[in-house]
Structure 1
Amino acid sequence: MAHLTLLRADITTLTVDIIVNAANSSLLGGGGVDGAIHRAGGPAILEACKKIGAEQGGCPTGEAVITTAGKLPAKYVIHTVGPVWNGGTNGEDALLESCYRNSLQLAEEVGATSIAFPNISTGVYHFPKERAAEIAVRTVRAFPVNSIEEVSFVCFDAENYNIYERLMA
């Protein structure tokens, strides 16, 4: 199992192999962490996302794609599309779990040793923060890693940080 770390930081500043972007299905940038990654990484990320969009029509919820990290200190960005919360009876838990699994799988495929996750779907998609954190920690702990040595959960706000701190204790 990979070593799990918890950070309260701006994910765009981390020197890791991969940062994960909580993207929207168009892959063309948006608000929150998605907008921050696109702004900090520069036009190379958007160009790579446009190419993926042209080839496969974007990225479905629960899936993940990988691009350059542009000007970011990371080597790659994995863009994953989390589910919008609709009460919990529309497969949201399984889709969120799929975001983490598919991101870890892509990281393994490129031989990454470190990956940093934001709090996927807990912003404008309104996934309950506690439930999302439980799914994230459980899924990452259960994933059979080979190359990945360190997985970081990166929280921008104190509320998410405190939830993860309690779950990881």
Structure 2
Amino acid sequence: MHYISELQDGTKVKLVMLLIVLCFSSYYIFKNYKTANSQLKILSFIGIVGSVWLMYIEINKNNNVNLLKQNFELTTGKIEKYIVPNIKGAIPSLGKAADHNYIKYSYEVNNNKLTNSYDENYFIKIPNVKPNLDLSYLVIYQKNNPSNSFILVNYPINNEDDLANYRKIFSQGIPGNIFEQE
């Protein structure tokens, strides 16, 4: 029960929806196995396997954020790509939905250059206003897994003292404006 209480709200909602799909697919395949045609059996099997796989992915994302919160370090990074799609670009009748906000960035940890990217999600928001791509920004990463990271566009590095100041702020804990569900 303690593990469930540590899950983010967005993860809980997705898991409940996937459990519903899993239950209905399982019920249908076992209840109607002899009378269902092979296409429905295959679709039900895909629903079962897909639900389990997506639940694993959501729990893994949640665990990565929790591990990062427990054991983090700070560095600076540069934004390589920042996409905030125009909502007018969506054409529902053609099946084209608007993309999510997306960010790709690079940073250095122990003389190793790393690149990471992510879409906006329920852990961290990507602002709709494009930041200054010439500046460096604060990157929070997991100490023992540096590829588990987020760039924090609301913490720009304007001069050499900014990183030291941010380290002082973060030494008291991660500020509440970093992750969505604190």
Q: Same fold (TM over 0.5)?
A: no
The answer to which structure, 1 or 2, has the higher relative contact order (CA under 8 A, 6+ apart) is 1
Bigger strand share: 2
Please classify the TM superposition score into its range, dividing by the shorter chain length.
under 0.3
Q: TM-score, normalised by structure 2?
A: 0.26
Larger Rg: 2
Q: Report the TM-score, using the length of structure 1 for normalisation.
A: 0.27
